Structure 1
Amino acid sequence: MESRFGALKPFYDAGVIGIQTDGLLAVHNLSAAALSERNKVNQLVAAENADRQNLYQAIANANGHPEWAGQIKTTFAARWLENAQAGWWYQAAGGSWAQK
């Protein structure tokens, strides 16, 4: 995940991707990406989301409570948003999109 951030950051900055209410990434405005990069965006988002899901489950399992994965995901979602840079897009509780 850390090594992927450098590839994701330009797409955060351009508004192509954003953070959903559940802390996973979503394609917010694919048309803001060059046509040649759109497939890459989708692949990066899918890979990042898979890693985030695996991380939440691994933390829950390590604590002996696999059923906690949902709560851990909620906690991380708040942190992802707190750490988002100004100008990045995020999904508000009602489902609408806003810039931080």
Structure 2
Amino acid sequence: MKTTNMIFGWIGALLLSFASLAGAQGNLEVNTPAIEALKQSMQQRHAQLAPLYASGAVGLAADGTVALRDASGVPLAQRGQASAWIAAENADRVALYREIARANGHPEWEPDVRKTFAQRWIERAQPGWWVQGGAGWVRK
């Protein structure tokens, strides 16, 4: 599946970017059972989130999370499920940032990991997705 490969490609590229930004001598191919489980969870959820990104209902936030940007873009009957997907995605993202820092032996790098991921998620967003920047929400 194209979007599945895209998610794993993004995560791999983000790991490489983090290592270079942090000046780390850590493992560029960092992978632990916890990181693998988080990547799998995010991969599975992406199928539900992709249409929400495409419609503009959900966007990539500047803090490395996803946000319900326009609730009117989600039918009322589906808003509860969309909110659950967003909450689960954000929990996985926060855990991923923490686990990457830990796997590199530097839990104090977690804010740097989050910042790097936030920038790269936004840079790699598909055309038409909404992203949050200094000027607020913009369509990529």
> Shorter-chain-normalised TM-score: which range?
over 0.9
For residue 132 of structure 2, what is the aligned residue in structure 1?
Answer: 91
1:47-62 residue pairs with structure 2 within 5 A? Answer: 47-62=88-103
In 2, the alpha carbon distance for the partners of 1:82 and 1:11 equals: 18
1:82 is displaced (CA, Å) by 1.7
TM-score (norm 2): 0.69
Moved over 2 A (4+): none
Q: Which has the higher helix share?
A: 2
State which of 104, 112, 124 in structure 2 corresponds to 1:63.
104
Larger Rg: 2
TM-score under structure 1 length normalisation: 0.95
Report what 1:4 is aligned to: 45
- Residue 72 of structure 2 is aligned to residue 72 of structure 1: no
Deviation at 1:79, TM superposition (A): 1.4
List per-residue Cα deviations over 1:7-59 (Å, max 9, x = no partner): 00010011110011112001000111111110111101100000000000001
In structure 1, what is the equivalent of residue 23 of structure 2?
Answer: none
Residues of 1 paired with 2:43 and 2:124: CA distance? 14
